[in-house]
Chains A and B, each alone.
Chain A
Amino acid sequence: MDEGGAVSAFGDAFVYLNDPFNWTRSGGILDLLVAHLRISALAVLLAAVLAVPTGVLLGRSGRGGGAVVVLSNVSRAVPTLALLTVLAVTPLGFSELGTVLALAAFAVPPMLTNTYVGFREVDRDVREAARAMGMSRGQMLTRVEFPLALPLVATGVRTAAVQVVATATLAALVGGGGLGRIINLGFGQQDHGLILAGAVLVAALALLTELVLVLVSAALTPGPRRWPVRPVRAPRAGQPEPTSSGVPL
């Protein structure tokens, strides 16, 4: 594509995004955005209900670290597009439920890993001290372990949520809803303006989700503020590592 083509594509994208009718009409940007957010929210909720309690159980007992590593490695190798497509040709069909299930499956590993690490790394002495103060197991969980593990659990949920919002775009490739439809339509019509408009919307939504969740988790986390930008460390083999960025699919 020549330089002039790219420039005119930016102009076309601006015109498309600047037209209120493109936002408000039925099946327009706002409708697609609502569908996108509904699918994403359901997927994150479903994955959290499954992954967080499992991570708490495994992390407290300190068992199953190998299984957690294997799960997160395997999930990296499975293309999201493949699972979306396979679910679409099951009896579930082209329902929102199929999309939600596929996205939830990929949201489980980051949440599970981070919850596991968060609870496993609660200091043994702190647990001991809580027990000595006469706390029951339930009190220890809610008053000691959970607050200490919260920053990592929040990172897991944020990573998964951003990943889900990003991957929900792919549903459009297999007949699903969401903002990916604009990009898909643009490619179908070879309309570079439309393609760019869709790209801007999808990328902005992903970055905004990241930003909002960083602020929310910083506000909720007790103690000194912990920002998600952490120094990089060389990965250790065979041990679950907390993830701060998910699969970019």
Chain B
Amino acid sequence: MASLGALSAVSVPAAPVLAADAAPNPWFDPSYVTDNWDTIVGHLGQHVRLTVGAVLLGALIALPLALLARRTRFLAGPVLGLSSIVYTIPSLAMFAFLAPFTGSLSATTVLVGLTLYTLVILVRNFLAGLQGVPADVREAARGMGYGSARLFLRVDLPLALPAFMAGLRIATVSTVALVTVGVITGNGGLGQLIVGGLNANFYRAEIVTGAVGCVLLALVADVLLAGLERLLTPWTRAAR
């Protein structure tokens, strides 16, 4: 310890001057955004593609799982238990588990990992929505001669739609944030700007552009989905 103290006393000057202190390094710089517009749009495009892909794939897998879990009651427990275990696995570890199979520098790794997380959120919300459909209503529809496809489309889907949309909104917003971790494979969408700025001698304008871009993207996606929900469920407005 004593030798360490002596060493640091010798080697560290009293007031270290970093390159970052000398050059102007503003947090917000509009010229960064305009000068690098094409790069930013490219990363934004990847961010959107990964988010939409993961949420759509997750929804396509989650719906049959939720229907199955409702139909066979004993499956609901294991499905939910397994999904909460998946949710506990940190995203970086998830991508790391997938890397040997899907490639450590491929966007597929990120897409598959994100799909697993959206799957977890969506199965829970889809199942909650389906279980919220009153049994009497389904019984009545069946008594009126509805087949299972028509029962789902005309009865289950409209009644469970608010819960479905709530799940989709949560999944989308979380996925937008999670895409940034894909930076470990070089496919992190706007996360590339965050870590890229850090590696480019702590370029604050680039970091803030990536960070603010992620938050704005999540906000826009949430507002769009909220608008879609309003369009799809006109009867909830009439009731109020």
Binding partners A and B: yes
Q: How far is the CB of A210 from chain B (nearest CB, A)?
A: 5
> With the chains together, A135 CA to B88 CA distance in Å?
42
Interface secondary structure of A, over-half rule: helix
Contact of A76 among B90, B92, B177 (CB under 8 A): B177
Pair B174/A248 contact, Cβ less than 8 Å? yes
Q: Does B115 contact A (CB under 8 A)?
A: no
- Is the CB of B127 closer than 8 A to any CB of chain A? yes
Most buried by A among B77, B103, B105, B184: B184
Contact A79 B93 (CB under 8 A): no
Residues of B within 8 A of A237 (CB): 166
User: CB distance B191 to A79 under 8 Å?
Assistant: yes
Contact B173 A233 (CB under 8 A): no
Interface residues on B, range: 35 or more
Instruction: State in angstroms the CA–CA spacing of A81 and B92 once bound together.
Output: 11
With A202-B90, A232-B124, A235-B163 as given contacts, are A85 and B222 in contact (CB-CB < 8 Å)?
Answer: no
Task: Specify which of A9, A73, A206, A244 is in contact with B93 (CB 8 Å cutoff).
Answer: A206
Interface presence of A80 (CB below 8 A): yes
Judge if A21 is at the interface, Cβ distance under 8 Å: no
Interface bits A67-78 vs B (CB < 8 Å: 1, else 0) = 000000100111
B183 touches A173 (CB 8 A): yes
Main SS at interface, chain B: helix
Tier of interface size on chain A? 35 or more
Chain-A contact segment, one of B56-64, B146-154, B204-212: B204-212
> Which B residues are in CB contact (< 8 Å) with A83?
211
Q: Which B residues are CB-close (under 8 A) to A196?
A: 96-97, 99-100
Q: Taking the complex as formed, is A147 at the interface, i.e. its CB lies under 8 A from any CB of chain B?
A: no
Q: Is the CB of A207 within 8 A of B85?
A: yes
Q: Mark A133-160, 1 if CB is under 8 A from B, else 0.
A: 0000000000000000000000000000
Contacts of A195 in B (CB 8 A): 96, 99-100, 104
- CB neighbours of B163 from chain A (8 A): 234-235
Task: Find out whether the CB atom of B214 lies under 8 angstroms from the CB atom of A82.
Answer: yes
The reply to whether A89 and B219 contact each other, CB–CB distance below 8 Å, is: no
User: Which of A113-121, A122-130, A181-189 faces chain B?
Assistant: A181-189
Contact B185 A187 (CB under 8 A): yes
B157 interface hit (Cβ, 8 Å): no
Which residues of chain B come closer than 8 Å to A247, judged between CB atoms?
Answer: 174, 177
Task: Flag B116-141 by CB within 8 Å of A: 1 or 0 each.
Answer: 01000000110111011000000000
Known: A82-B194, A89-B207, A183-B92. 10 other contacts (CB 8 A): A77-B214, A77-B218, A77-B219, A78-B214, A78-B215, A173-B92, A174-B195, A184-B184, A192-B100, A199-B92
11 contacts between A and B (CB under 8 A): A5-B100, A10-B100, A77-B177, A79-B211, A172-B92, A180-B92, A187-B104, A187-B184, A190-B104, A196-B99, A199-B96
Q: Give the interface of A toward B (CB within 8 A).
A: 1, 5-6, 9-10, 73, 76-83, 85-86, 88-89, 162, 165-167, 169-170, 172-175, 180, 183-184, 186-187, 190, 192, 195-196, 198-200, 202-203, 206-207, 210, 229, 232-235, 237, 244-245, 247-249
